[in-house]
Structure 1
Amino acid sequence: MPLVTQATLWTARIQLVPLGDDHLEGEVQLDADPEVMRYLGRPRQRAEVEQAHRRRIATASVVPGLGFWAGLVAGSFVGWWILQPPERADQGPVEGQAELGYRLLRRYWRQGLASEGARELIRHGFADLGLHRIFAETMAVNLPSRATMAAVGLDYVRTFHLDFDAPLPGSEHGEVEYAITRQEWLANRPAVVRHPVPGTHGI
């Protein structure tokens, strides 16, 4: 079978391109912002972000088609989205499943971009990659992210606890998992509107 490469995707406002070295400066901005990192860990120095960047790029080589996408609005980096294979045993099997995630620069919050990009990755995962299940995780106290998960069709599955070397405030309440199956998505999906690549005139 031919190798499935990571696709470039489009929404009404966002171009989602495979994460590359051109996006490193945006990642540095993201991970240095204490508000962005509030539910993720302490802000990172540049050297730490460079290491994380290399790990993010490498994700695309684990399962064909999955990986990190940089989101561009009018050519400007707004954040990244992911579909990545499960990393822990309690997340279930790798085959046919992926974890959804997103991280946006603070100036692009509350504009519906996180959910817009997430919906397209869910569509891509089920319609193009043939995934069976997509899930997402966050801290139980991260209400904005939980609201986004629910808004894009994921349902609450469980609350669980992980051991951290440096627990964040609120970690005593645990982590939550939300998920959607391909069957659920097919039953409830809205009409699909395709967004042609500029210059193709829809052909």
Structure 2
Amino acid sequence: MDVHLTTPRLVLRPFADTEDGLGLVVELDSDPEVMRYITGGRPMTRAEIRAGKGFREPGHERITANTMYVNAGSRHVMEKCGLSHSRTCFEDRPYPVEGDEHGDVE
């Protein structure tokens, strides 16, 4: 396994685009509590998950993460990973999500 970052509570590694790896992501993304700030609780399909590329492609100058301002848990994880707040933005969503009036942070 090619590990990019390891902390006592986190191992950041490339997504394994295999049925096993995809199955784990599908299981996680099927939890409405996990997905409530991303899709309003709607699980993502396998096709949507497989379309994401993340860290699989080399050559990125910058890595960003986005979450809703009200999602304090995700903001804390982002800070623990060494990411810092660069901006707050407001986006039109195709569906209402609780707290979206406060914007997203990057």
| Alpha-carbon distance between aligned partners in 1 of 2:79 and 2:56, rounded to the nearest angstrom | 19
TM-score for both structures, normalised by structure 2 = 0.74
Instruction: Count residues in correspondence.
Output: 100
Residue by residue over 1:31-71, the C-alpha shift from the partner in whole angstroms, topping out at 9 and shown as x without a partner, is 22111112111232xxx522223313xx3xxxxxxxxxxxx
TM-score for both structures, normalised by structure 1 = 0.42
- Which consecutive residues of structure 2, in runs of 5 or more, have no partner in the other structure? none
Q: 1:131-142 alignment to 2 at 5 Å?
A: 131-142=60-71
- Pick from 48, 55, 61 the counterpart of residue 83 of structure 1: 55
- Pick from 15, 25, 28 the counterpart of residue 26 of structure 2: 28
| % identical equivalent positions | 37
1:9 equivalent in structure 2 = 2
The ranges of structure 1 where at least 4 consecutive aligned residues each deviate by more than 6 angstroms after the TM superposition are none
The structure having more radius of gyration, on CA atoms, is 1
Q: 1:1-203 alignment to 2 at 5 Å?
A: 8-10=1-3, 11=6, 14=11, 16-17=13-14, 18-41=16-39, 42-44=41-43, 49-56=45-52, 59=53, 82-83=54-55, 129=58, 131-177=60-106
Residue by residue over 1:111-169, the C-alpha shift from the partner in whole angstroms, topping out at 9 and shown as x without a partner, is xxxxxxxxxxxxxxxxxx45432221110101111111112222211110111110200
In terms of fraction of residues, the more strand-rich structure is 1
Q: Is the 8 A contact 2:17 2:50 kept in 1?
A: no
Higher relative contact order (CA 8 A, sep 6+): 2
Q: Which amino acid aligns with 1:52?
A: E
| Alpha-carbon distance between aligned partners in 2 of 1:165 and 1:15, rounded to the nearest angstrom | 30
SS in 1 for 2:24: helix
Q: Is the 8 A contact 1:9 1:15 kept in 2?
A: no
Please tell me the root mean square deviation across aligned C-alpha atoms, in Å.
2.6
| Alpha-carbon distance between aligned partners in 2 of 1:84 and 1:161, rounded to the nearest angstrom | 28
Q: Is the 8 A contact 1:27 1:49 kept in 2?
A: no
SS in 1 for 2:91: coil
SS in 1 for 2:51: helix
